Amino acid sequence: MIGSSKSLEFSKSEKDDLSFASALFQWGGLIKMRKMHRMLMDNTLYIPAKLLTIIGALNWGLVGLLNFNLVAAIFGKRSILSRLVYILVGLAGVYIVIKYKATYLAKREAKKGKRQYSGKQYSWSGIL
């Protein structure tokens, strides 16, 4: 009887520890979910733009290598759908360039801010 009460107390303390650990885990999960949500909101257009840019690149590769236009073969040469695909691929390319330029400039500014002038330069005092 004493052994069973000790095991119950032990399992109860384990349960408390697990609930605290699970609470920490859930809090960490909420933080991760917020970060993922921010990332998805920032990249809502980035992923489809990247896919459209890849489709355009593959299409131009086929045109250059085999003289075969895949978009025209699927949607028709002069159809509205093929023109829409071409327009979307062009807009996606412009979006990718703008997004890349913005991230490149932000990284460059962050790196530039870390540099500090040390005060050490070449000295002419040893020449004379």
Work out the number of other CB atoms within 10 angstroms of the CB of residue 45: 13
With a cut of 70, say whether residue 77 has pLDDT above it: yes
Q: What whole-number distance in Å separates Cα of residue 60 and Cα of residue 66? A: 10
96 near 49, Cβ under 8 Å?
yes
Instruction: For residues 25-33, give the mean pLDDT.
Output: 67
The DSSP string of 45-102 is THHHHHHHHHHHHHHHHHHHHHS--HHHHHH-TT-HHHHHHHHHHHHHHHHHHHHHHH
With a cut of 60, say whether residue 30 has pLDDT above it: yes
Lowest mean pLDDT among 28-32, 57-61, 100-104, 112-116: 112-116
| pLDDT for res 108 | 78
With a cut of 80, say whether residue 33 has pLDDT above it: no
With a cut of 50, say whether residue 92 has pLDDT above it: yes
Q: Mean pLDDT, the chain, as a whole number?
A: 75
Q: pTM for the full model?
A: 0.55
